[in-house]
Structure 1
Amino acid sequence: MNELLNLQGFGPLLAQGAWMTIKLAFLALVLSLALGLIAAGAKLSSHKLLRIPATLYTTLIRSVPDLVLILLIFYSLQLWLNDLTEMLGWNYFEIDPFTAGVITLGFIYGAYFTENFRGAMLSVPVGQLEAATAYGLSRWQRFRLVMFPQLMRFALPGLGNNWLVLLKSTALVSIIGLADLVKAAQNAGKTTNDPLYFLILAGLVYLLITTLSNRIFKRLERRYNVGIKGLAR
Structure 2
Amino acid sequence: MLELQRYFPALLQGAGITLILAVLSVVLAVCLGMAGAVAKLYGSRAVVSMASAYTTLVRGVPEFVMMLLVFYGGQLILNQLASWVGLHAPDVNAFVAAVLTIGFIFGAYYTETFRGAILSVPRGQMEAARAYGFSGWLAFRRILFPQMMRLALPAAVNNWLVLLKATAIASLIGLHDVMFIADQAGRTTQAPMTFYLAACAVYLVVTSGSTACLARARTYLHRGVREGSLHR
TM-score (norm 2): 0.94
The Cα of 1:89 is off from its aligned counterpart by 3.9
The SS at the match of 1:73 is helix
Alpha carbons 1:40, 1:117 under 8 Å: kept: yes
Aligned to 1:188: 185
Aligned to 2:127: 130
Aligned to 1:229: 226
- Ranges in structure 2 where 5+ consecutive residues have no aligned partner: none
Moved more, 75-84 or 45-54: 75-84
Match of 2:11 among 11, 14, 21: 14
- Alignment partner of 1:29 is 2:26: yes
Partners in 1 of 2:228 and 2:74 — Cα distance? 44
Q: Aligned-residue CA RMSD in angstroms?
A: 1.6
Alpha carbons 1:222, 1:231 under 8 Å: kept: no
- Alignment partner of 1:172 is 2:153: no
TM-score (norm 1): 0.93
- Alignment partner of 1:209 is 2:209: no
The Cα of 1:8 is off from its aligned counterpart by 3.5
Matched residues, number = 229
CA 1:219–1:8 in 2, change beyond 3 Å: closer, same or farther?
Answer: closer
The Cα of 1:231 is off from its aligned counterpart by 7.1
Match of 2:73 among 64, 72, 76: 76
Aligned to 2:39: 42
Counterpart residue type for residue 181 of structure 1? V
Alpha carbons 1:124, 1:150 under 8 Å: kept: yes
CA 1:40–1:8 in 2, change beyond 3 Å: closer, same or farther?
Answer: same
Aligned to 2:145: 148
- Alignment partner of 1:159 is 2:164: no
- Ranges in structure 1 where 5+ consecutive residues have no aligned partner: none
The Cα of 1:45 is off from its aligned counterpart by 1.9
- Alpha-carbon displacement from aligned partner over 1:114-148 (angstroms, at most 9, x marks no partner): 00000000011111111222222222222211111
Alpha carbons 2:79, 2:88 under 8 Å: kept: no
Aligned to 1:67: 64
Match of 2:83 among 73, 76, 86: 86
